[in-house]
Every structure is written in C-alpha cells, then in structure tokens.
C-alpha cells in the first residue's frame, strides 16, 4: 500500500509590524487615560484651592452685638451721631435724613461697602405680621437700583464698623415715606451691597430697622437675608 507523501507546513511567522502598532496603540491609550486622570485631578485640586482662597477673602455682614463698642460717627456736612452696638440711627435734621447702622463682619475677609437701598414694608401686609412675613413681601433688589456710597467704608474681618448714608434731595422718591416711618418708628428695610477688597464676591444683605412708637427707644437692626451675586446663592 502506497503512502501519500506529506506536505511540509510553513512555520507561522509573527507580524511584528502589527504587534508593534498594537503595542503602540495600547501604550497611547494608557497614557491618555493617565493624562485625563491627572488633568481631572489637577483641575479638582485647582478648584479646591481657588475656593479656599475665596473663602479666606469672603465677608459677611451682620448687625454688631449689643456689647460692642459705641461709635461716634460724622457725615460729610459735620453732622454727628453716636451709634451703639446692634443699633441704627434714623433721624431727620433740617430736612436731611441721616441713616447709619452698626455692623459686624462675621466673615473672614474685609467687607467693602459699595451701595445701599432703603425701602418700606408692604402696606398690604397686616401690621401684626411678623418681621419675616413683612420682609417676605419685598423681592430681591436689582443691583442697578443701589445708590453708590459717597465714601469708602470698610468692615474688617471679625470686627465692627458702620454703614452711613443720607437723603438730602427734596425730590427723592422715598424721602417723605422714610421721614414718616422715622416719625412713627415703623419698620424699614436697608439693603447693603458689598464685596471683598479684591472687587469680587458681591453680596446683598438685607437688614430690618425698627424703633417702635417710643421716640426715646433706640433703633434696632437685624439681618434678614443674604444674596450672592457672583456665586451660587445660599437659598
């Protein structure tokens, strides 16, 4: 019986070009993943560092404490007033409305006061309503509606200073209502626009100022709400 001759088989030769390309592609992929992770981690670290820096510069204004020192303050026309801790000044002299509040900065950065806005509680709200209910009727003010401070006012971090302003114009739209509120001791609203000393982190803090019917009683201020303009709002 004859046996068919065997056919020699060719040994498989590795395709080094393909292997090299695949290895290069795999290395590139690994490098890309590592680079992406590194960039992402670096971005996160940069954000954390930036936020930490901003927190270190961030001011936040509250009324000063009743135990804080009294401050003797003067307006540009040499009108003087004494401002006790936690108190405000609301008075009319010779047709000029003088306003001031004692402030404490509970934040970690210097507060630079930029502007102010004064308003009255909504007359439609019941007089027996709480301060929170009356204040809720007043919407968040537009920064464009604020009147710029006539002088630079700074409140150091963890310390006290004051805000002051005046209404001198006879045709100011709020002059007569504010004068009537001062006469009766009724609730008034003071919005302060301020930021850090770098010009950022703008904040609006709303204060209520009330005295009551006793003309000898001091005006007392309390903070009602804060709005952030350059970052996420707390509400």
- Express each pLDDT in 110-129 by its tens digit: 999 999 999 886 644 565 66
17 three-class SS: helix
CA distance 80 to 73: 6
Do 195 and 123 reside in the same domain of the chain? yes
What is the rounded average pLDDT of the residues 128-141?
A: 66
Domain hosting 22: range is: 11-57
Residue 149 inside a domain? The answer is yes
- Express each pLDDT in 42-51 by its tens digit: 666 666 665 6
Residue 154 inside a domain? The answer is yes
> In sequence order, what are the beta bridge partners of 194?
113, 203
Do 31 and 73 reside in the same domain of the chain? no
CA distance 196 to 158: 14
Write down the mean pLDDT value for the chain. Answer: 85
Do 23 and 115 reside in the same domain of the chain? no
CA distance 203 to 208: 17
H or E segment and range at residue 226: strand 219-228
Nearest to 109 by CA among 53, 67, 150: 53
Do 137 and 53 reside in the same domain of the chain? no
Q: Is the pLDDT of residue 140 over 90?
A: no
Do 26 and 114 reside in the same domain of the chain? no
Which class for 7: exposed (0-12), middle (13-18), buried (19 or more C-beta within 10 A)? Answer: exposed
Do 150 and 198 reside in the same domain of the chain? yes
Nearest to 166 by CA among 150, 181, 152, 189: 150
Do 64 and 135 reside in the same domain of the chain? yes
Question: Where residue 78 sits, what CATH number does that domain have?
Answer: 2.60.40
Nearest to 62 by CA among 106, 109, 100, 99: 106
Do 68 and 146 reside in the same domain of the chain? yes
> In sequence order, what are the beta bridge partners of 193?
115, 204
Do 167 and 77 reside in the same domain of the chain? yes
What is the rounded average pLDDT of the residues 156-166?
A: 97
- pLDDT attached to residue 112: 97
- Express each pLDDT in 194-212 by its tens digit: 999 988 999 999 999 999 8
Residue 84 inside a domain? The answer is yes
Question: How many angstroms separate the Cα of 205 from the Cα of each of 51, 223, 227, 228?
Answer: 21, 7, 6, 9
Residue 3 inside a domain? The answer is no
């Amino acid at each position: 019986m004859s046996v068919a001759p065997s056919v020699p088989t060719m040994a498989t030769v590795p395709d080094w070009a393909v292997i090299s390309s695949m290895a290069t592609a795999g290395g590139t992929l690994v490098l890309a993943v590592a680079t992406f992770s590194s960039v992402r981690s670096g971005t996160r670290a940069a954000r954390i560092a930036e936020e930490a820096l901003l927190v270190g510069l961030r001011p936040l204004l509250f009324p000063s404490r009743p135990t804080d020192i009294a401050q003797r303050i003067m307006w540009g026309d040499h009108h003087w007033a004494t401002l006790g801790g936690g108190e405000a000044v609301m008075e009319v002299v010779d047709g000029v409305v003088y306003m001031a509040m004692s402030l404490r900065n509970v934040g970690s950065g210097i507060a630079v006061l930029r502007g102010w806005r004064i308003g009255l509680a909504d007359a439609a709200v019941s007089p027996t309503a709480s301060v929170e209910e009356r204040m809720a009727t007043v919407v968040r003010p537009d920064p464009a509606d604020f009147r710029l401070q006539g002088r630079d006012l700074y409140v150091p971090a963890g310390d006290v200073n004051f805000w002051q302003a005046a209404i001198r114009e006879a045709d100011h739209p709020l002059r007569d209502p504010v004068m009537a509120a001062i006469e009766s001791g009724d609730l008034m609203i003071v919005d302060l626009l301020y930021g850090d000393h770098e010009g950022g982190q703008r904040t609006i803090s709303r204060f209520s100022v009330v005295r009551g019917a006793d003309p000898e009683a001091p005006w007392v201020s309390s903070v009602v709400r804060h709005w952030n303009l350059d970052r996420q709002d707390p509400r």
